[in-house]
Amino acid sequence: MPKIAAIPGDGIGKEVMPLGVQAVEVVAQRHGLDVDFEWFDFANVEYFQQHGQMLPDGWQSQLGGFDSIFFGAVGWPQVVPDHVSLWGSLLQFRRQFDQYVNLRPCKILPGITPPLRDRGPGDVDFLVVRENTEGEYSNAGGVLFEGTDRELAMQETVMTRIGVDRVMKYAFAQAQKRRKKVTSATKSNGISITMPYWDSRFEAVQSDYPGVETDRFHIDILAAHFVQHPEWFDVVVASNLFGDILSDLGPACTGTIGVAPSANINPTGEFPSLFEPVHGSAPDIAGKGVANPIGQIWSGAMMLDHLGAEAAGREIETAIDDVLRAADPQVLTPDIAGQGTTETLGQAIIDVLRKE
Ligand code: NAI
Ligand code: MG
C-alpha cells in the first residue's frame, strides 16, 4: 500500500490539494491500488510564524518512510521572504531527498488556447528534464570585503560527473519510451569550463543509447526555438539554471501555468519523490476559490506513474482532456475562460474518473 505525504503549503496550494488527493484516491481505488494519504501541516507561513522555521526538526525521518510526497505550493512573500520559505522547505526536500531529476511535461491540452499562433493539441508535446541538485545553484561562494570598495561576490557552478551523467541517463531512458530524441541545452561558447564538460558528458552518455537521436543548442537560441519550433522537441535535458528557465518557458508556450505539473524524482527510490504543480501559492487569487486545480491533479497522475500505476495515471490525463474538450464555461476556471470554480472543475474531472 503506497503511503503518500500530502503537504498543501500556502495560498491556493491549500485549495487545490484536496481535489488532487481525491482524484488520486478515486482512480487508485478503481485500479485496486490502496493509497494511504497522511496530511502534514508544515511548510507554510502559519507554521513559520509559530515556530520560526518552515519545517520541524527531524522532518527527514517524519517523511523519509513515505513512498511519495504530494506537494501544493509554498510562499507568502508579504510575511516570509521567498528565499526563506523556499530554501526552508521545498529546496530542502529536493536536496536532502536527492531528487536529482525535475520533470516537466509541456503539452497543449484540448480547449486551451496556447499563446503560440496556429498550434493546437498534438503539436507540442515534450518533456523538460532539469538537473535538480547542483550546477549553477550551488552554495559554493561568498561575499568578501563587504561594504568596502573591494566588495566582491562570487558563486561557483558545480558539475560532478555523477550528477551530470545520472540526469542525462534519465533523459535518455525517458526518450526511449517516447519519440526517441534528446536535446541538450548548452552554452559552451560562453561558459567555457563547465558547459564544455556538460557537452563531453552528453557525448559519452549518448553512445550508450544508439537508438536515440540527439541534438544540442546553446540556451539562447534554444529558448527561441521553444517558441518558434516547439514541435522539434521530445526530451530536453538541461542543467539546473537552464532547466529552471526552460521548464517555465515550455509550459508557458502551451497555455496557462495553472495546468502544468511537475515531478522531483529520486530515481533510485532511496528517498521519496515529490510531485507538485508548477505554479506557486498565487496570493492574488488565494481565498477566492477560483484556482485551476488541473496542475495539482495532473501532478497526481505523474505520481501514479512513478508508483508503477501507469494506467491509472493515463486515466487522469484522459479525464482532464475530456473535461477540457467539453469546454463548459460553468465548469472551467477563469484562467481558462470559464466562470466556474476550483471545486466545479476539480469535481468534473473526478466525476469522469468515477464513471470511467
Ligand atoms: P504563482 O505561480 O503563484 O502566480 C503567478 C500568476 O499565475 C498569478 O497571477 C496567479 O494568480 C496565476 N496562477 C498561478 N496558479 C494558478 C492556478 N492554479 N489557477 C489560476 N491562476 C494561477 O507565482 P508568483 O506570483 O510568482 O509567486 C507567488 C508565491 O508562490 C511566491 O511566494 C513564490 O515564491 C511562490 N512559488 C512557489 C512555488 C512552489 O511552491 N513550487 C513555485 C513558484 C512560486
Ligand atoms: Mg522556476
**Average pLDDT of 260-278?**
96
Ligand lying nearest the CA atom of residue 89: 1
Give the CATH number for residue 34. 3.40.718.10
Average pLDDT of the chain? 96
**Residue of 137, 170, 209, 305 with catalytic role:** 137
Q: How far apart are CA 70 and CA 39, in angstroms?
A: 9
Ligand lying nearest the CA atom of residue 292: 1
Q: How far apart are CA 206 and CA 164, in angstroms?
A: 12
Q: What is the ipTM of this complex?
A: 0.98
Contact, 279 vs 12, CB < 8 A? yes
How many structural domains is the chain composed of? 2
Residue 107 lies in a domain: no
Contact, 249 vs 239, CB < 8 A? no
- Is the pLDDT reported for residue 257 higher than 90? no
**How many CB atoms lie under 10 A from the CB of residue 131?**
28
Q: Give the ligand 1 atom nearest the CA of 77.
A: 32
Query: Which pLDDT tens digit goes with each residue over 280-296?
Result: 999 999 999 999 999 99
Contact, 125 vs 253, CB < 8 A? no
Q: Give the ligand 1 atom nearest the CA of 9.
A: 40
pLDDT at 121: 87
* 210, 226, 254 - which closes a domain: 254
Backbone angles phi, psi at 349, to 5 degrees: -70, -40
Q: How far apart are CA 245 and CA 187, in angstroms?
A: 14
Which pLDDT band holds residue 122 (cuts at 50, 70, 90)?
confident
Same domain flag for 95 and 118: no
- Is the pLDDT reported for residue 203 higher than 80? yes
Residue 220 lies in a domain: yes
pLDDT at 164: 98
Q: State the residue range of the domain holding 321.
A: 1-99+270-356
Same domain flag for 52 and 169: no
pLDDT at 117: 86
Q: Please confirm, yes or no, whether 187 is among the known catalytic residues.
A: yes
Same domain flag for 94 and 119: no
Q: Give the ligand 1 atom nearest the CA of 86.
A: 34
Residues contacting 295, CB < 8 A, separation 6+? 16, 257, 258, 259, 260, 261, 277, 278, 279
Q: How far apart are CA 348 and CA 39, in angstroms?
A: 24
Query: Which pLDDT tens digit goes with each residue over 83-114?
Result: 899 999 998 999 999 999 999 999 999 988 88
Task: State the distance from the centre of ligand 2 to the C-alpha of 245, rounded, in angstroms.
Answer: 6
Task: State the distance from the centre of ligand 2 to the C-alpha of 248, rounded, in angstroms.
Answer: 6
Residue 259 lies in a domain: no
- Strand, coil or helix: 236: strand
Residue type, 39: W
Same domain flag for 94 and 122: no
Q: How far apart are CA 8 and CA 221, in angstroms?
A: 37
